[in-house]
Every structure is written in C-alpha cells, then in structure tokens.
Amino acid sequence: MPEETKTVRASAEVLRERKRRFRRTRARELMMITKALASTKHPILVHIIPMRRCNLDCGYCNEYDSVSKPVPLAEMKKRLDILADMGTSIITISGGEPLMHSELEEIIRHIRKRGMIAGMITNGFLLSKERIGTLNEAGLEHLQISIDNLVPDEVSKKSLKTLDTRLEWLSEFAVFQVNINSVLGSGVKDPEDALKIAHRAVELGFTSTVGIIHDNNGQLKPLGPREQEIFEEIMTLGKRSYSRFNDFQHSVARGKEHNWRCRSGSRYLYICEDGLVHWCSQQRGYPGIPLTQYTDEMRHREYLTAKHCAPMCTVSCVQQVGMLDNWRGPQTLKPKPMAPPAGARPELVQIGGTRSDS
C-alpha cells in the first residue's frame, strides 16, 4: 500500500448523479439479461479497439503497439452502428490504451446514443480530474482498471503506488461505476499485493475483482494454497459485482478444467482496430471476417461451434456472457474457414499469458 493513502469524499452533487446513473444502468442491465434470455440472436457483449497503441509496455502483454494511429471517429461510428443494428447490448472499449484516442468521448456518446451500455478498460495513467469530467458528460457507465502490483517493477508499471492519486480522483469525481481488477497467478511476485489492492478499491467505494494469469504455454495451473485463500477473500470482499456469480473462476483458481459453452463469435465479439471480428483477445485471427461482412448466419454458426480452448479459458467476461446460454444450444459444429476477402485474414494467434482484465 502506498505510504500515505487517504479516503476522499465526493460532493453531494456527484453522489446524487452517481446514484442516478447507477440506477439507470442497473435497470438497463436487467433489460439486457431479459433480452438475452428471450433470444439468442444478438450479441450481448462486444469488445472494440479504437486504439491499438499504448502508453505503457507491460512485459506480459501482446495487445498493444507503440506506433499505430487511432481508428478515425467516422469509422468507429460506422462499426458501432452495425453492432447496434445487430441488437448488441454492451460495448466495452479496450485497447491498447483507449484514453490515447482524442475522440474517445465522441465514441462513448455514440454508444449511448445508439442505446447500448458503455464501458471501458484502461490503464488509468491518462486520467485527470478534467478527463473524468468529460467521461462523465459523455455518458460512460463502467470503467475498469487492472492493477498488477503495489510498486512498479520491470514487468508492470500498473501499480497502486503510481495510480492511487487517480483512484482518489475517480472516487471523488466519477459518476460512472469503477471496478479495480487485481491479478494472481504465475509471474505475480507477491500475491499479498492483490489483497491490498482489493482492500484499497473497496475503501474508495469501487467494486473489486481478481483475474488469474497463466504462463505463456497457456496451461491451466492451479494457484498455490495462499493464492487460493486470497482469491476467495477478494471474491467475497465488499460490494457485489456480476463476476462473483461466476463459478468458472473458482475452477480456474483450482486448476480444474471447466465445462461450458463459449459463445464467442456470436454472443461475444472482439472487434480489432482493423474492423475484423475475432473470437476474443486471446484467439485472434478467427473468424477474421470484416464486421461489415459478418452475417447473422455466421453468428449463428459460431453460436453452435465448440471452442477447443474453452476448458482452459481464463477470459472471465466471455464466461459471464456464456452463463446466459450454457443451459441451451449444444455446440456440435467445428470451426471452419468463412471465406474472408483476399488478404484480410491474419494468422490465428493463440495467446497464453496475457492481460487478465477482460
């Protein structure tokens, strides 16, 4: 924990607006669940990348570069319109680092204008009081920051020490919901860090979750006894969040394979900066079809396609989406090439150890 931490208080006006936005978002989330249970024909959650570039270079990450340009706003709006027309419920903006996109707030406004729930995953380094204000005004509903350690090291600078002041600003000024994700697993030096990060998150009025990272061969490794204790403690800490209903996470912590139906490519979509649809951040390259050419039939096929990586998967957000359909739609199909346009199909990228915040 940083030496001098303080608890901050939001003004009465911020608290009022925070409550109002929370109630509205919760009502829309309940509608989202009802709609998802009533029909399997639309995506529930989409991760979209407006910016592959990142201002950090975490040692375990291969979801960023240091040179690429932001996706133009007009192109982002076009993609969001297609997703809205498909009936998508939630859009989470990810990266790279989305706060590097100079028109991020316009992207968020467009998500809200099209009736979808707007969330974002960020490393938080570019947050300022002013930026929190513009994110409030744009209508952001969820923000997640993943914090890897208490003090920065050679692998990750996403530490509580570097981010604590920004967390205090969020606690004071943000009217959107904030979740702090801490990490456990191979490569994490001190598992006690995760517990301290989670306690600080709750102290500041945020929800907290814990992600599990595995090493680069992608094998499912159980957490050690103390790590498992910490994992369980964080899962029961403070405020509730949907991820706590995720039985899968407990299996991952114990190194057990999990029996579930991954609906990526259908109920969950990952749209990269080039506008291609992928299963998820860890299985990029398939289907590899431009969003503009991704038909209802393709989505339906992917709904029924078994994913070879499902038993060892650590992508918790796709797991949560899967819970809404695990009881129906047995997956009997195998992945098959979907005739993308020439030159638009990158190689399948299977990523073992990577960010654990999605």
Phi/psi-derived region of residue 218, left when phi > 0, alpha when psi is between -120 and 50, beta in every other case: left
Pairing of the two strands 268-271 and 276-280: antiparallel
- Identify which of 258, 248, 245, 250 has the alpha carbon closest to the alpha carbon of residue 229: 250
User: Which CB atom, from 2 or from 311, has the smaller least distance to ligand SF4?
Assistant: 311
Cα gap 9→29, rounded to integer Å: 27
User: Which CB atom, from 132 or from 318, has the smaller least distance to ligand SF4?
Assistant: 318
- Identify which of 166, 167, 164, 148 has the alpha carbon closest to the alpha carbon of residue 156: 148
273 binds ligand SF4 (CB under 6 A): no
Kindly tell me which residue out of 21, 310, 325, 356 binds ligand SF4, with binding defined by CB under 6 A.
310
Q: Which residue, chain included where needed, has tokens 């890897």?
A: 148
Kindly tell me which residue out of 43, 51, 63, 287 binds ligand SF4, with binding defined by CB under 6 A.
63
Kindly tell me which residue out of 46, 252, 280, 289 binds ligand SF4, with binding defined by CB under 6 A.
280
262 binds ligand SF4 (CB under 6 A): yes
138 binds ligand SF4 (CB under 6 A): no
Kindly tell me which residue out of 126, 309, 323, 324 binds ligand SF4, with binding defined by CB under 6 A.
309
For residues 203 and 239, is the Cβ–Cβ distance under 8 A?
A: no
Longest dimension (CA), the chain: 57
Pairing of the two strands 142-147 and 117-122: parallel
- Candidate ranges 69-77, 106-114, 290-298, 311-319; the one touching ligand SF4 (CB under 6 A): 311-319
End-to-end CA distance of the chain: 24
283 binds ligand SF4 (CB under 6 A): yes
User: Which CB atom, from 78 or from 221, has the smaller least distance to ligand SF4?
Assistant: 221
CB of 43 to ligand SF4, least distance (A): 14
CB of 21 to ligand SF4, least distance (A): 26
Number of residues that bind ligand SF4 (CB under 6 A): 24
User: Which CB atom, from 56 or from 324, has the smaller least distance to ligand SF4?
Assistant: 56
Around Cβ 15, how many Cβ atoms within 10 Å?
13
User: Which CB atom, from 207 or from 319, has the smaller least distance to ligand SF4?
Assistant: 319
String of contacts with ligand SF4 for each residue 88-127, x by CB under 6 A: -------xxx-------------------------x----
CB of 294 to ligand SF4, least distance (A): 16
User: Which CB atom, from 140 or from 310, has the smaller least distance to ligand SF4?
Assistant: 310
Cα gap 288→347, rounded to integer Å: 9
User: Which CB atom, from 52 or from 200, has the smaller least distance to ligand SF4?
Assistant: 52
Q: CA dist 154 to 60, 81, 196, 343, 353, Å?
A: 11, 41, 20, 37, 16
The counts of H helices and E strands in the chain are 10, 10
Measured at the CA of 258, the angle between CA 257 and CA 259, to 5 degrees, comes to 125
Q: Which residues of this protein are in contact with ligand SF4, per CB under 6 A?
A: 54, 56-58, 61, 63-64, 95-97, 123, 262, 264, 279-280, 282-283, 307, 309-310, 313, 315, 318, 355
